[in-house]
Amino acid sequence: MLKEVLQAIAQDDRVFSLDHLAQQVGIHQDLLKQILTDLVRAGYLRALGETCSQECDHCPLISACLTTQPLKVWVLTEKGIHFIRKQAINR
């Protein structure tokens, strides 16, 4: 399941709500939160601050954002990017 969450995050350059990402992967939000925590702890993801600090109108991610709720944003680390690339090669 960790792999599926990483792939879902990597496949699109948009910002998803936890609910949307959980639905996309087919798991409950609580499980997704734990997986995100595990992926950060393992070094595959990095949180960009606790929440967005800008108003949505001035946010550089507004064109890609699918939610108007306060956000916690995660990005792939170099380790995460390397893992995703390795998975793509092995397909």
DSSP 8-state class, residue 60: T
- Asked if 44 and 82 touch (Cβ cutoff 8 Å), the reply is no
- Asked if 5 and 45 touch (Cβ cutoff 8 Å), the reply is no
For the ranges 1-10, 44-53, 66-75, 77-86, the lowest mean pLDDT is seen at 66-75
Q: What is the structure's pLDDT at 58?
A: 64
CA distance 25 to 51: 22
CATH 1.10.10.10 fits 2-89, yes or no: yes
Burial classification of residue 30, based on how many CB atoms lie within 10 Å of its CB (0-12 exposed, 13-18 middle, 19 or more buried): exposed
What is the per-residue pLDDT across 26-58, written as a single tens digit (0 to 9) for each?
A: 999 999 999 999 999 999 998 775 555 556 666
- pTM of the predicted structure, to 2 decimals: 0.72
